Chain A
Amino acid sequence: MSREELLDKYIRGELTVEEQKAFEQLEDSTEELTFLRDLEVVLQAEDRSKLKAQFQDFESAAKEVSLPKQEARTRKLPTWSWAAVAAVVLLIGAFLWFWQPAQPDYLADYFEPYPNIIAPIQKGGTSTDALAEAMQSYEREQYETAIAQFATSPTTDTIQFFSGVSALAVGQYETAIANLEAVVEIEGRFQREANWYLALSYLKSEEIEVAKEILTSIQKNNDHPYQKEATQLLEELN
């Protein structure tokens, strides 16, 4: 169990007897515990301000609704005109719903599927095992098939890496994040590469700040294969 998990469990009062012992072994935890206790207090205060703001919004929204009602009483409109108004409102609503502000497509600019360096396909040959098949789909850019095929192989960081990149390619950002986070945690062959794709995944799921943090760590690492890209992307983001 990690240090963070132990501290969390302590704060939440969830330590078992055994974990309690491990917790007592932790050194210098005072500052971290103060931080976590502060966090709880501040988050409650923030939650209250959010509730208050929501209530105030309800009030102002209710006021806006009640104003046109009074107008209607003085100036009766034929029924059909309400249908027309409703249609217009619906149209505007639909427009706002589907309209998204144009954002630069960082994925198009920066995403390059990682080359298959695992099982080079022999042209014309037929592959037998599941991993080779999955890699074949991956190389043919049939990512959804690849994801399904990767899932049948035993989980390794290699498989999670390529599965994550495939998910990113087809816009399944949460799956991408799940797989790539797992790869990043292990000090394996694809750890650094996974970090880059992870940053892109967070960026696409609009977790800009998280993405920036990862990119900054890449930027600081002089041996990182994606240092240049990360630096450039960070500049665009800022």
Chain B
Amino acid sequence: MKRETQEEKRTQPDVDSEAMLRQFYFRYRDEFLRAFSKYELDEAARLDVYQDAMIVLVEAMRKGKVTLQNNAKSYLFGIGRNLFVDRIKSELKKRELQADLKNQADISENVTLDHIELSHRQQTLQQAIRQLGKKCQEILTLFYYRKYAIEAIQKAMNYNSENVVKAHKSRCLKQLREIMKA
């Protein structure tokens, strides 16, 4: 995990805390909805796009690719634009107007929300993960997806020692395998 300096810590919203995430969510919401109103999607559809763009932004911020003071906003609006283009394209597809688009520049070469298609095997795993307790899900997410160091997990989840984290993580993994077998 990337170590943050004190300076960054103070200005970077902790998007893992619900209160901060909420604040962050509403920070650009209205401006975003207004900026893209010309696309004439109804507000619910625009909100959906905003939320997808926020997901991409949150993931980028966690990786340290984007920071709040630096380029968060332009990143968010850029993703928003790409997502709208994708969406309008698929609407057109439905109307079999694909041909017209072939001549258009592919703006969505840039970042969009790369939809995760789960294989059948992965879907089985997904079902199994959902049967785990909340803490198990959290610890496995931090370790195997977010790639937190054990020490960072200890802090984030208030464990007493790194050994408990390790033991608990092992147990959760074992339990997950048991569920898969069953």
Task: List residues of chain A with CB under 8 Å of any chain B CB.
Answer: 4, 8, 11-12, 35-36, 38-48, 51-52, 54-56, 58-59, 62, 174-175, 177-178, 181-182, 185, 206-210, 213
Contacts and interface: CB of A to CB of B under 8 A. Distances in A.
A42 B54 CA distance: 19
A178 B164 contact: yes
6 closest A-B pairs by CB: A43-B145, A181-B167, A55-B51, A45-B116, A178-B164, A209-B133
Interface of B: 18, 21-22, 25-26, 47, 51-52, 54-55, 58, 116, 118-119, 121-122, 125-126, 129-133, 135-137, 140-141, 143-145, 147, 159-161, 163-164, 167-168, 170-178
A39 B144 contact: yes
Given A58-B26, A209-B175, A210-B175, A178 B129 contact: no
A36 B55 contact: no
Contacts of A59: 47
| SS of A interface (majority) | helix
Nearest to A5: B166
Nearest to A56: B51
| SS of B interface (majority) | helix
B122 A41 contact: yes
Given A36-B144, A43-B129, A51 B137 contact: no
B116 A4 contact: no
Contacts of A58: 22, 25-26
A177 B168 CA distance: 9
A47 to B, nearest CB: 6
Contacts of B135: 207
B164 A181 contact: yes
A217 B73 CA distance: 53
A208 B136 CA distance: 11
